[in-house]
Amino acid sequence: MAKFDLNDSGVVVIVGSGAGGGTLGNELAQKGIKVVILEAGPRIENQDFINDEWDSFGQLAWSDMRTTSGSWRVHKDFPNIPAWIVKAVGGSTVHWAGASLRFDEHEFKIKSAYGNIPGANLLDWPITLAEMEPYYAKAENKMGVTRTNGIPGLPGNNNFKVLEAGAKKLGYKEVHTGRMAINSEPRDGRGSCQQIGFCFQGCKSGAKWSTLYTEIPKGEATGNLEVRPGSMVIKIEHDQSGKVTGVVYADETGAMQRQKARVVAVAGNSIESPRLLLNSASSMFPDGLANSSGQVGRNYLRHMTGSVYATFEKSVHMYRGTTMAGIIRDEAKNDPKRGFVGGYEMETLSLGLPFMAAFLNPGAWGRSFTSAMEGYPRMAGMWLVGEDLPQETNRITLDPKEKDKFGMPVASVHFDDHPNDVAMRDHAYKQGAAVYEAVGATVTYPTPPYPSTHNMGTNRMSEKPRDGVVNKFGQSHDIKNLFVSDGSQFTSGAACNPTLTIVSLAIRQADTIAGAMQRKEI
Amino acid sequence: MREIDRRSKYDRRVFLKGAAVTAPAVAIATSTGLGITDAWADEAGTLTPATMKTLLKMARDIYPHDFLGDSYYISAVKPWDDKAAKDPAVKSLINDGVARLDQEANERHKMPYAQVAWENDRVALLQRIEGSAFFQKIRGDLIASLYNNKEVWPRFGYEGSSAEHGGYIKRGFADIDWLPKA
């Protein structure tokens, strides 16, 4: 396995090993480029994942201090856990559910499609669906997405069967077990789904795609990729010409190291990535790196989310089997007649008993709560996930008081729902309840958003440097050897789960970086 | 459909093992066939037996599940005695909180909270202190100490860890049999 010198200034340093960083690292390594991935968390392999919600949360979740503000309920219920994401090799591809959907064409150009909406900071992506299609195809093949490349869909579990029956009664047309990066048959050296459940706790069988046991070992096998776990990047450094020269990071022992680099790619998810750029401020870049537009950290997107759980007369056992293999897509279209722009997906979801207690209605107590809990085995559940609108004031900033153990300011996350988000959620709650009532639900529970799993938009792509942080290849407008490689480069969030688009962008970005290195542009 | 056996088959084993419930008095009571007595509360070293019993009553009133015996709630609140022993701030939070709750009860019912007969009346008292750090601490802790107790899970029809059983692929992931034909 490769081991590169700290003074090797020829390497590409990638910060983070998830969907963006892990994919980019492997793609570059396959092209013969030397890569060092610095991952803040430990390396935990499949067999060590835990089928227990709280124990797994303790094992995998990013629980370092963060602060929050704004009118979103997460601020009240979980003030220091704005996001439910992973700190481990593989990043949030360890925790993700596997839903792998392409954006619709209009979702790459929402300013054109939706017009001017007060309070929102809409912008078209500098790329189109047509430009993305070949990369989507590569990503689907790489990840083994069901219902693409001739791969059959996953079998539906009990939770899906309830969703499907209700959806059909309601007249919804596009209902199936999803496009999932979970093997429905053995593929790419990994077995097929054993219907374990616990997709969010790390897939013990490896049927679900995660960079941890796909991209990363493949990249390592080339001899061009070194992954350093337990390595928290503190600061990106640059020279007098304004080019980045490397990073300073705390290694596994807490000692500070300086890794030189030819290129730096930031992929620490949409809270840590802008935090790192802001914490890298210098006399030359007093507002942080890549921030001449002032847009670093702004336009934080977390999706319009919510859940509907419903209780029936008879058992469902929703927790058995693949967590999110079930979708209704009919509401994903943009149909402003519903009272909002953009659309949403309805996807099966289940929580175990411990997380149901924590998330069904945080803070609630008494008989109405316990009566809901007693319906647990008779419950079905769905997650509502839709497009939320970029707002400049929804943003990641550096907390003025709180510092991490290395003395660096922690991220502070501010979020307010846009009225469009609220109108969409209300619509989605109503439709979600109707799906279940159509097949005999005796009670339905409109459940508030959990800490954010889809974090996007805080270093967004723009055609013009004044509107965003990076160009159409994720290359920062200000510094040509500094890239952003995660969901923070999203110009807008679309209705669907973001991972497939992050992976597609990373594959595309690897071509860009390799080409520019070959041409000696960077 | 494969249903879950929800009988409390675990109770006896847990008590005898004494791991989840560090209350030998409970074990004795159970193994001798007697009901649970108040003896478990007398074992508290830092908090008074009356305070422990108040915490038990609070736990039942906050998250009332009539199919769960006191043993589950006792194992949820018992660790407060240890925590109070280790941290004087916790000790005073609990003692002051219970004192205020009893004061509310005495003013309205001329008796301490734990002796107020009807749940509705006790819940009304809890609502008066709902915003306090004491109440929120007890309630927040119960979310994990009650619902994250593996012995409780089968009572709610939850099966817990599945990978070691081969997942649900052959154990009913798709065995629902009552839905209308799609």
- Indicate the domain borders of chain B: 53-62+69-153
Under the banding of pLDDT at 50, 70 and 90, the label for residue B21 is very low
User: Rounded to whole angstroms, how far apart are CA atoms B122 and B59?
Assistant: 12
How far is it, in rounded angstroms, from Cα B39 to Cα A319?
39
CA atoms of A212 and A210, how far apart (whole Å) = 5
Angle at Cα A96 formed by Cα A93 and Cα A101, nearest 5°? 100
Instruction: Give the closest-approach CA distance of A374 to chain B in angstroms.
Output: 6
Nearest-neighbour CA in chain B from A190: distance (Å) = 16
* Ramachandran region, residue A210 (left: φ > 0; alpha: ψ -120 to 50; beta: rest): beta
Sole residue written with tokens 């989310």: A305
pTM of the model: 0.95
**Are the Cβ atoms of B172 and A164 closer than 8 angstroms?**
no
| Contact indicator for A114, A68 with CB cutoff of 8 Å | no
**Upper half-sphere CA count for residue A258 (Cβ side, 13 Å):** 9
d(CA A431, CA B123): 34
Which pLDDT belongs to residue B8? Answer: 65
- Interface contact B161-A165, CB threshold 8 A: no
User: For residue B57, which phi and psi values (nearest 5 degrees)?
Assistant: -65, -40
- Element (H or E) spanning A499, and its range? helix A499-518
Placement of tokens 């610095």 in the chain: A38
For residues A477 and A293, what is the distance between their CA atoms, to the nearest angstrom? 9
Check A353 against B158: CB less than 8 A apart: yes
State both tokens at A457. Answer: 């938009």
- Interface mutation vs chain B, best among A56, A161, A196, most B CBs within 10 Å: A196
Which of B139, B161, B181 would you mutate first to test chain A, the one with the most A CBs within 10 A? B161
What residues have CB less than 8 Å from A16, skipping those under 6 apart? Answer: A22, A37, A38, A39, A40, A91, A266, A267, A268, A269, A272, A273, A485, A486
Out of B65, B153, B171, whose CB is closest to A374?
Answer: B65
C-alpha A331/C-alpha A327 separation (Å) is 11
Pairwise CA distance, residues A37 & A289, whole Å: 20
Are A320 and B173 a contacting pair at CB < 8 A? yes
With CB atoms and an 8 Å threshold, state whether A354 touches B3.
no
Are residues A328 and A341 in contact, defined by beta-carbon separation less than 8 angstroms? no
Tell me which of A160, A201, A365 to substitute to probe the interface with B (most B C-beta atoms closer than 10 Å).
A365
Provide the pLDDT confidence category of residue B5 given band limits of 50, 70 and 90: confident
A contact residues 9-68, partner B, Cβ 8 Å cutoff:
50-54
Name residues 475-514 of chain A within 8 A of B (Cβ): none
Kindly determine whether residue B63 and residue A369, on different chains, have CB atoms separated by under 8 Å.
yes
> Is the CB of A354 inside 8 Å of chain B's CB atoms?
yes
Distance between CA atoms of residues A467 and A463, nearest Å? 8
Dihedral sign of CA atoms A430, A432, A435, A439 in order: negative
* pLDDT tens by residue, A123-152: 999 999 999 999 999 999 999 999 999 999
Chain B interface includes A175 (CB < 8 A)? no
Mutation to test the B interface, candidates A76, A195, A379, A439, most B Cβ within 10 Å? A195
Flag whether residue B173 sits within 8 Å of chain A, measured between CB atoms. yes
B16: confidence class by pLDDT, cuts 50, 70, 90: very low
Q: Between chain A and chain B, how many beta carbons pairs sit less than 8 Å apart?
A: 132
Reduce the secondary structure of A279-326 to three states and give it as a string: HCCCCCCCCCCCCCCCCCCCCCECCEEEEEEEECCCCCCCCCCCCCCC
Q: Is A320 on the interface with B (CB under 8 A)?
A: yes
Burial class (CB in 10 A: 0-12, 13-18, 19+), A423: middle
pLDDT at A496: 98
In total, chain B counts a number of residues equal to 182
Residues of A in contact with B143 (CB under 8 A): 357-358
Domains and CATH numbers, chain A: 12-519 (3.50.50.60)
Q: What is the mean pLDDT of residues B143-163?
A: 97
Give how far B172 is from chain A: nearest CA, Å: 7
Contacts of B123 in chain A (CB under 8 A): 366
Distance, CA of A408 to CA of A275 (rounded, Å):
10
Per-residue pLDDT of chain A (522 residues; tens, 9 = 90+): 899 999 999 999 999 999 999 999 999 999 999 999 999 999 999 999 999 999 999 999 999 999 999 999 999 999 999 999 999 999 999 999 999 999 999 999 999 999 999 999 999 999 999 999 999 999 999 999 999 999 999 999 999 999 999 999 999 999 999 999 999 999 999 999 999 999 999 999 999 999 999 999 999 999 999 999 999 999 999 999 999 999 999 999 999 999 999 999 999 999 999 999 999 999 999 999 999 999 999 999 999 999 999 999 999 999 999 999 999 999 999 999 999 999 999 999 999 999 999 999 999 999 999 999 999 999 999 999 999 999 999 999 999 999 999 999 999 999 999 999 999 999 999 999 999 999 999 999 999 999 999 999 999 999 999 999 999 999 999 999 999 999 999 999 999 999 999 999 999 999 999 999 999 999
Binary contact (B180, A155; C-beta < 8 A): no
User: CB of A174 within 8 Å of any CB in chain B?
Assistant: no
- Angstrom distance (rounded) from CA A104 to CA A341: 14
The Cα–Cα gap between A222 and A28 comes to: 10
The pLDDT, as a whole number, for residue B20 is 46
Tokens of A507: 């594959």
Does B161 contact A52 at a Cβ distance shorter than 8 Å? Answer: yes
Q: Which residue has the tokens 């071509």?
A: A511
Q: Which of B156, B161, B168 sits opposite A321 (nearest CB)?
A: B168
Question: For A363, which residue in chain B has the nearest alpha carbon?
Answer: B140
Q: How many CB atoms lie within 10 A of CB B121?
A: 13
DSSP percent split of chain B into helix, strand, coil, nearest 5:
55, 0, 45
Contact with chain A for residue B118, Cβ under 8 A: no
- CA B32 to chain A, closest CA, distance in angstroms equals 31
Best mutation target, B3, B145, B162, to test chain A (most A CBs within 10 A): B162
B63 touches chain A (CB under 8 A): yes
The per-residue pLDDT for B7 is 76
Q: Smallest Cβ distance to B65: which of A197, A365, A370?
A: A370
Residue pair A198/A10 in contact (Cβ under 8 Å)? The answer is: no
Q: Which residue among A52, A194, A377 places its CB closest to the CB of B167?
A: A194
- Quote the mean pLDDT of chain B: 88
Handedness of CA A31, A36, A39, A45 (dihedral sign): positive
Mind telling me how many Å the CA of B91 is from chain A's nearest CA? 23
Match 């009332």 to its residue by tokens: B64
DSSP alpha helix (H) spans, A117-197: 129-143, 158-170
Helix, strand or coil for residue A150? coil
As given in the structure block, the two tokens for residue A456 are 């996007």
